[in-house]
Structure 1
């Protein structure tokens, strides 16, 4: 394992074995920049760049996206995604990507020989696909999506009126499944293409709230490119268009409004604006109080549990492990929380425990993430960063840590 985390920042290991820190060092040197010059452009401290490059400190998503933007490279060049392990059964999901890509490219070329199912059957299929996404069962979802997209594409082209509007709404939701898979696996070009399709179908559905939800979804592209000011502007527009008077909003509108505040909290945290980040959390908490329970309007999973999970994520984004752990200890999550959300929460919390200095708790929390959402956990770059750090810090590694690293595909 030492080949993963050489202290001198050398790059003599195979590219597939490199951590994010070493990839940053390599990309920086290719651009002819010193650590200080990169830090000035990010901006951050030279000390942070040095510690991350040498493997003394894990990279945050905020730092990785900022460095990628500064060096004008794709995010995957720093994270190493997509991660492949041909010997693992979980890797079968990658085999779905070519067919999904072909289905996206055929968005305006329906198969004229295809007789689409009834609208009732298509509703059922889309609900099933959404349920697979909530459970983070990406292989089954990936196998299902190409055929479903072909059926929906054909159906919208042979329908009209209100029926056609509904079918476009279903198509937008199905395209959202593609964004989930491509984000999880690290196919960033496919994700951008899928987002275009989501927006196109949402607009054609004539549903203003679906369009607003799509704009919320679009904001993730600004997160991935460290364009925080534009992302915050977009989310503010979403809330303004819905309306700020919670008493006048429908439950679905409250969900979109609250979700926009939660996403804004993450943007503000990555921009190191602590006060604004937690102000957004409080606005979202009030929206969740008005809603009264966890809900899943338009696939947003908004409610009291999601607010709690974003509190922890917000603290983690700012390297504040103590605050993340404190808020997690006060958390009471609904047993109905979707596995995909719970898995992400555990991944965030594991980083919080690592920043707090409790390596055992960090590993235990990663194991919990693996239990509820294995494919999501295995493909998350921050999981790999956390495990690399744990391996480097633990001179006498527990069997559970070595086994987890092996499951991730780390040498």
Structure 2
């Protein structure tokens, strides 16, 4: 079990010294400035997701070795979601070994349970989602392997969607090996569903692995290929295709921001905004949550990825998100906004955003490494620590 109480900067420093690198040598390999490495290692500046991924790649360690994930709970209730991981892992390993003793239920009932699982993921209720996934995966595996014709395609589509729930949990909790395995299962089931758009969506999903490994050029290439395959004429696209197309531009914007290439990043945001305009409103085709709200959320994320706190806060000031936005997206937005406020020197605004993230998506917030980095920085900066900050740090398990 990892110790999530240690700062990422200290972990980077230890790993760097074990590799025999100077700060300058690590900075050249990330790449970034030596000053940034020094500030992060001393705890004077929070480590960004891009820096963590780049340092992990340069030092040849897993991202979790630098973040300290997964952050196990301090009580049975807090640790409940982690306790389900072995069962989920066994379900993934049995992808081609259907249990013939499992009686198949009608597809309508299985589809209803998959829809329930998707809602739990959308609401970032990972504990409840994790409890139903192993049994649902076993049922769907048995049904899909034991069915022929169009019904088989439908069952594999449901199976792919359910595997996506595993990737959501693995990402949120920091089980990166499980996430990679689940991603393979998502792609396999999507291919078997004979749905080209679902397959394209899995490539968008696959691109997150390139984010974690700091392989930004490869991730960008993958998303370019997806757009070539589905076409670029948004005027001729139906709503699901627009969602997949727009989502690839949003992800491409994050890749560009991490390179960093501000011009390309904002150009992708512009393309996504135009696709959202044609779509007309927020939608949730293939679980992508694409639409005007997600474009606005990504505007803040792009600025944060480039350490531009002023721009992040400016863009956030113009956002009015509707109550229909998924909690999982709102959680990400407030976590990014907290970082943007911190970079902009607004400590009170940063803490306020963290509390908003906790309110809408507590499990996501508790397990996010950037939340811990932000809180550690706030603790170090506040000479007279407010009770609200101490309470939040205690909730995270940070001494």
Q: The TM-score by the shorter chain falls in which range? A: over 0.9
Q: Indicate which of 17, 21, 35 corresponds to 1:47.
A: 35
In 2, distance between residues paired with 1:15 and 1:249?
A: 48
Q: Is 1:222 aligned with 2:206?
A: no
Out of 321, 330, 335, the position equivalent to 2:309 is 321
Deviation at 1:129, TM superposition (A): 0.2
Q: What does 1:170-319 correspond to in 2, within 5 Å?
A: 170-319=158-307
User: Which residue of the partner structure matches residue 356 of structure 2?
Assistant: 368
Aligned position for 1:149: 137
Partner of 2:50: 62
Runs of 4+ more than 3 Å apart: none
Contact 2:5 2:397 in 1 (8 A): no
1:123 is aligned to 2:114: no
Find the counterpart in structure 2 of residue 11 from structure 1. none
> In structure 2, how many angstroms separate the alpha carbons of the residues matched to 1:290 and 1:332?
20
The CA distance in 1 between the partners of 2:373 and 2:336, in whole Å, is 12
Is the 2:4–2:69 Cα contact (8 Å) retained in structure 1?
no
User: CA contact under 8 A between 1:82 and 1:186: conserved in structure 2?
Assistant: yes
SS at 2:21 equivalent: coil
Q: Match of 1:379?
A: 367
**SS of the residue aligned with 1:301?**
coil
* Partners of 1:90 and 1:139 within 8 A in 2: no
Q: Secondary structure at the residue paired with 1:17?
A: coil
Does residue 163 in structure 1 map to residue 151 in structure 2? Answer: yes
CA contact (8 A) 2:200 2:226 kept: yes
- Provide the C-alpha distance between the structure 1 equivalents of 2:289 and 2:322, rounded to a whole number of angstroms: 12
| C-alpha separation in 1, matches of 2:4 and 2:293 | 37
TM-aligned CA deviation for residue 88 of structure 1:
6.4
Aligned mates of 2:141, 2:131 — CA distance in 1: 17
Q: How far has the Cα of 1:43 moved from its partner?
A: 1.2
Query: In 2, Cα distance between the equivalents of 1:247 and 1:304?
Result: 17
Give the structure 2 partner of residue 342 of structure 1.
330
Matched, 1:105 2:105: no
User: Which ranges of structure 1 fall in alignment gaps of 5 or more residues?
Assistant: 1-13
Secondary structure of 2:210's match? Answer: helix
The 1-side partners of 2:313 and 2:18 are apart by 38
Take 1:39 and 1:233, find their aligned partners in 2: how far apart are those partners?
25
For 2:76 and 2:343, how far apart are their aligned partners in 1? 30
The count of aligned residue pairs is: 398
Give the stretch that moved more between structures: 60-69 or 82-91: 82-91
Q: Report the Cα distance in structure 1 between the residues aligned to 2:268 and 2:36, rounded to whole angstroms.
A: 27
Give the superposition deviation at 1:116.
1.7
Structure 1 residue 124, shift from structure 2 partner? 0.2
**Structure 2 alignment gaps of length 5 or more:** none
Cα distance in 2 for residues equivalent to 1:266 and 1:77: 23
Within the alignment, does 1:32 sit opposite 2:20 as a pair?
Answer: yes
2:344 match: 356
